[in-house]
Amino acid sequence: MKKITTLLVCLLFSAISNAQETRFIYEVMMKSNASDLSGTQKELSFLDVSGIRSVFYGENNYKRDSLMQRMRETRNFSSAEMGGLRSDIGYRIEKDLSEQKILYTGRIGRDQYQYEEDRKMNWKILPETAVIGSYKTQKAETEFAGRKWSAWFTQDIPLQEGPYKFSGLPGLIVKVEDADGHYEFYLKEVKKIAAPAMFVSRGNIVQLKRADFEKQMQKFRADPTSFMMLSGSRAGGNRGAAQADPNRRREMENRSKEMLERMSNPLER
Protein backbone atom coordinates (compact mmCIF):
# COMPACT_ATOMS: atom_id res chain seq x y z
CA MET A 1 0.00 0.00 0.00
CA LYS A 2 2.87 2.35 0.89
CA LYS A 3 4.54 1.65 -2.49
CA ILE A 4 1.28 2.43 -4.34
CA THR A 5 0.86 5.71 -2.44
CA THR A 6 4.44 6.72 -3.21
CA LEU A 7 3.92 5.88 -6.88
CA LEU A 8 0.74 7.96 -7.02
CA VAL A 9 2.51 10.94 -5.45
CA CYS A 10 5.33 10.65 -7.98
CA LEU A 11 2.90 10.43 -10.87
CA LEU A 12 0.96 13.44 -9.57
CA PHE A 13 4.15 15.49 -9.21
CA SER A 14 5.21 14.47 -12.73
CA ALA A 15 1.83 15.50 -14.15
CA ILE A 16 1.97 18.88 -12.44
CA SER A 17 5.51 19.48 -13.69
CA ASN A 18 4.59 18.58 -17.25
CA ALA A 19 1.46 20.73 -17.11
CA GLN A 20 3.60 23.71 -16.16
CA GLU A 21 5.81 23.43 -19.27
CA THR A 22 3.60 25.77 -21.24
CA ARG A 23 4.02 28.37 -23.97
CA PHE A 24 1.64 31.32 -24.10
CA ILE A 25 1.73 33.02 -27.49
CA TYR A 26 0.90 36.72 -27.52
CA GLU A 27 0.44 39.03 -30.45
CA VAL A 28 2.13 42.36 -29.72
CA MET A 29 0.79 45.52 -31.34
CA MET A 30 3.25 48.42 -31.27
CA LYS A 31 3.15 52.03 -32.40
CA SER A 32 6.81 52.62 -31.66
CA ASN A 33 7.47 55.41 -34.17
CA ALA A 34 6.46 58.72 -32.57
CA SER A 35 6.40 60.49 -35.95
CA ASP A 36 3.94 57.97 -37.43
CA LEU A 37 1.49 56.83 -34.76
CA SER A 38 -0.93 55.73 -37.48
CA GLY A 39 1.50 52.96 -38.39
CA THR A 40 1.28 49.71 -36.44
CA GLN A 41 3.78 46.90 -36.15
CA LYS A 42 2.65 43.44 -35.12
CA GLU A 43 4.86 40.64 -33.91
CA LEU A 44 4.38 37.35 -32.11
CA SER A 45 5.98 36.84 -28.71
CA PHE A 46 6.30 33.81 -26.46
CA LEU A 47 5.92 33.46 -22.70
CA ASP A 48 7.41 30.10 -21.68
CA VAL A 49 6.42 29.05 -18.18
CA SER A 50 8.13 26.24 -16.28
CA GLY A 51 7.06 25.93 -12.67
CA ILE A 52 7.83 29.19 -10.90
CA ARG A 53 10.07 30.51 -13.68
CA SER A 54 9.26 32.07 -17.02
CA VAL A 55 10.92 33.75 -19.99
CA PHE A 56 9.28 36.23 -22.38
CA TYR A 57 10.83 36.96 -25.79
CA GLY A 58 10.04 37.84 -29.40
CA GLU A 59 9.56 35.04 -31.91
CA ASN A 60 11.69 36.73 -34.58
CA ASN A 61 14.42 37.58 -32.10
CA TYR A 62 14.63 33.94 -31.02
CA LYS A 63 14.70 32.73 -34.64
CA ARG A 64 17.41 35.28 -35.41
CA ASP A 65 19.44 34.15 -32.40
CA SER A 66 19.14 30.50 -33.46
CA LEU A 67 20.05 31.35 -37.07
CA MET A 68 23.13 33.28 -35.97
CA GLN A 69 24.24 30.32 -33.89
CA ARG A 70 23.82 27.96 -36.86
CA MET A 71 25.67 30.35 -39.17
CA ARG A 72 28.58 30.56 -36.74
CA GLU A 73 28.78 26.77 -36.54
CA THR A 74 28.60 26.28 -40.31
CA ARG A 75 30.49 29.50 -41.20
CA ASN A 76 27.80 30.11 -43.80
CA PHE A 77 26.36 33.61 -43.35
CA SER A 78 23.31 34.84 -45.22
CA SER A 79 22.22 38.47 -44.90
CA ALA A 80 19.00 37.66 -46.81
CA GLU A 81 17.91 35.16 -44.15
CA MET A 82 18.79 37.55 -41.35
CA GLY A 83 16.98 40.45 -43.01
CA GLY A 84 13.62 38.72 -42.82
CA LEU A 85 13.86 38.33 -39.05
CA ARG A 86 14.06 41.93 -37.90
CA SER A 87 12.45 42.20 -34.48
CA ASP A 88 11.21 45.14 -32.43
CA ILE A 89 11.21 42.84 -29.40
CA GLY A 90 14.95 42.58 -29.09
CA TYR A 91 14.97 41.79 -25.39
CA ARG A 92 13.92 39.02 -23.06
CA ILE A 93 12.29 39.11 -19.64
CA GLU A 94 12.95 36.36 -17.10
CA LYS A 95 10.84 36.04 -13.97
CA ASP A 96 11.29 34.06 -10.76
CA LEU A 97 7.85 34.15 -9.18
CA SER A 98 8.97 32.67 -5.85
CA GLU A 99 11.47 35.49 -5.28
CA GLN A 100 9.41 38.13 -7.11
CA LYS A 101 12.45 38.80 -9.27
CA ILE A 102 12.33 40.15 -12.83
CA LEU A 103 15.44 40.30 -15.03
CA TYR A 104 15.63 42.34 -18.24
CA THR A 105 18.27 41.42 -20.85
CA GLY A 106 18.73 43.51 -23.98
CA ARG A 107 21.20 45.27 -26.23
CA ILE A 108 22.22 48.87 -26.59
CA GLY A 109 24.41 49.25 -29.63
CA ARG A 110 26.81 46.30 -29.66
CA ASP A 111 26.70 45.58 -25.92
CA GLN A 112 24.32 43.32 -24.03
CA TYR A 113 23.03 44.48 -20.66
CA GLN A 114 21.05 42.96 -17.83
CA TYR A 115 19.34 44.57 -14.86
CA GLU A 116 16.88 43.57 -12.17
CA GLU A 117 13.58 45.44 -12.25
CA ASP A 118 13.26 47.54 -9.08
CA ARG A 119 9.73 48.91 -9.56
CA LYS A 120 6.66 47.11 -8.27
CA MET A 121 3.35 47.03 -10.06
CA ASN A 122 0.51 48.10 -7.81
CA TRP A 123 -2.63 46.69 -9.39
CA LYS A 124 -6.14 47.93 -8.76
CA ILE A 125 -8.59 45.12 -9.46
CA LEU A 126 -11.94 46.36 -10.77
CA PRO A 127 -15.36 44.64 -10.76
CA GLU A 128 -15.65 44.88 -14.57
CA THR A 129 -15.63 41.52 -16.38
CA ALA A 130 -15.57 40.41 -20.02
CA VAL A 131 -15.21 37.30 -22.13
CA ILE A 132 -12.07 37.48 -24.25
CA GLY A 133 -11.72 34.57 -26.62
CA SER A 134 -12.77 31.57 -24.56
CA TYR A 135 -11.72 33.08 -21.23
CA LYS A 136 -13.77 34.78 -18.54
CA THR A 137 -11.67 37.75 -17.52
CA GLN A 138 -11.64 40.57 -15.00
CA LYS A 139 -10.14 44.02 -15.37
CA ALA A 140 -7.24 45.54 -13.46
CA GLU A 141 -5.30 48.77 -13.82
CA THR A 142 -1.83 49.97 -12.95
CA GLU A 143 0.64 52.73 -13.80
CA PHE A 144 4.07 51.55 -14.89
CA ALA A 145 7.02 53.06 -16.74
CA GLY A 146 5.23 56.30 -17.61
CA ARG A 147 2.05 54.71 -18.95
CA LYS A 148 -1.34 53.77 -17.58
CA TRP A 149 -2.20 50.13 -18.30
CA SER A 150 -5.43 48.13 -18.35
CA ALA A 151 -5.15 44.37 -18.04
CA TRP A 152 -7.68 41.57 -18.33
CA PHE A 153 -6.79 38.45 -16.39
CA THR A 154 -8.41 35.03 -16.11
CA GLN A 155 -8.55 32.76 -13.08
CA ASP A 156 -9.24 29.90 -15.49
CA ILE A 157 -5.44 29.76 -15.72
CA PRO A 158 -4.28 30.29 -12.11
CA LEU A 159 -0.83 31.69 -12.92
CA GLN A 160 0.22 35.10 -11.63
CA GLU A 161 1.86 35.70 -14.98
CA GLY A 162 1.67 37.80 -18.10
CA PRO A 163 3.67 39.16 -21.04
CA TYR A 164 6.62 41.51 -20.72
CA LYS A 165 7.13 42.51 -17.05
CA PHE A 166 3.43 42.28 -16.21
CA SER A 167 2.59 39.84 -13.40
CA GLY A 168 1.14 39.67 -9.91
CA LEU A 169 -2.57 39.32 -10.66
CA PRO A 170 -4.58 36.29 -9.41
CA GLY A 171 -4.65 34.74 -12.87
CA LEU A 172 -2.97 34.83 -16.27
CA ILE A 173 -3.10 38.14 -18.15
CA VAL A 174 -5.00 37.56 -21.39
CA LYS A 175 -4.77 41.14 -22.64
CA VAL A 176 -2.97 44.28 -21.52
CA GLU A 177 -2.86 47.67 -23.25
CA ASP A 178 -1.83 51.23 -22.46
CA ALA A 179 -4.30 54.10 -22.28
CA ASP A 180 -2.88 55.78 -25.40
CA GLY A 181 -3.42 52.70 -27.56
CA HIS A 182 0.27 52.53 -28.45
CA TYR A 183 1.01 49.05 -27.07
CA GLU A 184 -1.10 45.93 -26.67
CA PHE A 185 -0.36 42.30 -25.76
CA TYR A 186 -3.09 39.83 -26.68
CA LEU A 187 -3.09 36.09 -25.92
CA LYS A 188 -3.53 34.13 -29.16
CA GLU A 189 -2.65 30.55 -28.29
CA VAL A 190 -1.62 28.21 -25.48
CA LYS A 191 0.33 25.02 -26.05
CA LYS A 192 2.44 22.50 -24.18
CA ILE A 193 6.18 22.42 -24.81
CA ALA A 194 8.96 20.02 -23.95
CA ALA A 195 11.06 22.76 -22.35
CA PRO A 196 11.36 26.58 -22.33
CA ALA A 197 13.53 28.24 -24.95
CA MET A 198 17.26 28.43 -24.25
CA PHE A 199 19.36 31.42 -25.27
CA VAL A 200 23.06 31.34 -26.07
CA SER A 201 24.92 34.32 -24.64
CA ARG A 202 27.78 35.48 -26.87
CA GLY A 203 30.28 37.69 -25.10
CA ASN A 204 29.90 39.27 -21.71
CA ILE A 205 26.61 40.54 -20.34
CA VAL A 206 27.04 43.86 -18.52
CA GLN A 207 25.27 43.65 -15.15
CA LEU A 208 24.05 46.99 -13.85
CA LYS A 209 21.21 48.77 -12.09
CA ARG A 210 18.16 49.90 -14.04
CA ALA A 211 18.99 53.59 -13.56
CA ASP A 212 22.44 53.03 -15.06
CA PHE A 213 20.93 51.12 -17.97
CA GLU A 214 18.70 54.11 -18.69
CA LYS A 215 21.74 56.41 -18.61
CA GLN A 216 23.44 54.21 -21.19
CA MET A 217 20.31 54.34 -23.33
CA GLN A 218 20.31 58.14 -23.14
CA LYS A 219 23.94 58.22 -24.28
CA PHE A 220 23.10 55.94 -27.18
CA ARG A 221 20.15 58.08 -28.28
CA ALA A 222 22.25 61.26 -28.05
CA ASP A 223 25.04 59.92 -30.31
CA PRO A 224 24.42 56.34 -31.48
CA THR A 225 27.35 56.18 -33.91
CA SER A 226 29.97 57.14 -31.33
CA PHE A 227 28.33 54.84 -28.78
CA MET A 228 28.50 51.85 -31.16
CA MET A 229 32.10 52.59 -32.12
CA LEU A 230 33.10 52.76 -28.47
CA SER A 231 31.31 49.51 -27.62
CA GLY A 232 32.88 47.85 -30.65
CA SER A 233 36.38 48.89 -29.58
CA ARG A 234 35.76 47.63 -26.03
CA ALA A 235 34.77 44.25 -27.48
CA GLY A 236 37.90 44.13 -29.62
CA GLY A 237 35.93 44.67 -32.82
CA ASN A 238 37.06 46.32 -36.04
CA ARG A 239 34.97 49.45 -35.72
CA GLY A 240 38.10 51.59 -35.52
CA ALA A 241 38.19 51.25 -39.30
CA ALA A 242 34.79 52.93 -39.50
CA GLN A 243 36.19 56.02 -37.78
CA ALA A 244 38.74 56.40 -40.57
CA ASP A 245 36.32 55.52 -43.37
CA PRO A 246 33.73 58.29 -43.90
CA ASN A 247 31.54 56.06 -46.04
CA ARG A 248 31.29 53.39 -43.35
CA ARG A 249 30.64 56.02 -40.69
CA ARG A 250 27.88 57.57 -42.82
CA GLU A 251 26.33 54.14 -43.34
CA MET A 252 26.41 53.50 -39.59
CA GLU A 253 24.86 56.90 -38.89
CA ASN A 254 22.03 56.26 -41.34
CA ARG A 255 21.27 52.85 -39.81
CA SER A 256 21.31 54.33 -36.31
CA LYS A 257 19.05 57.20 -37.32
CA GLU A 258 16.55 54.82 -38.90
CA MET A 259 16.52 52.57 -35.83
CA LEU A 260 16.07 55.47 -33.40
CA GLU A 261 13.21 56.87 -35.45
CA ARG A 262 11.54 53.46 -35.56
CA MET A 263 11.82 53.16 -31.76
CA SER A 264 11.14 56.83 -30.86
CA ASN A 265 8.00 55.93 -28.88
CA PRO A 266 9.31 53.21 -26.54
CA LEU A 267 7.08 51.11 -24.32
CA GLU A 268 8.86 52.51 -21.25
CA ARG A 269 8.90 56.29 -21.31
Q: Rounded CA gap, 208 and 114, in Å?
A: 6
Question: What pLDDT does residue 229 have?
Answer: 73
State the chain's maximal CA–CA distance in angstroms: 80
Residue 176: the pLDDT is 98
E strand or H helix that includes residue 18 = helix 2-19
Q: pLDDT tens digits for the chain (269 residues)?
A: 444 433 433 433 344 444 469 999 999 999 999 988 988 999 999 999 999 999 999 998 887 766 666 666 666 666 655 556 677 898 999 999 889 899 999 989 888 999 999 999 999 999 999 999 999 999 999 999 999 999 999 999 999 999 999 999 999 999 999 999 999 999 999 999 999 998 877 778 999 999 999 999 999 888 887 887 776 545 554 445 455 567 777 777 777 777 788 888 999 99
- Asked if residues 126 and 142 have their Cβ atoms less than 8 Å apart, the reply is no
- Rounded Cα–Cα distance for residues 51 and 21 (Å): 7
pLDDT, residue 142, reads 98
Half-sphere exposure of 13 (CA within 13 A, CB side): 6
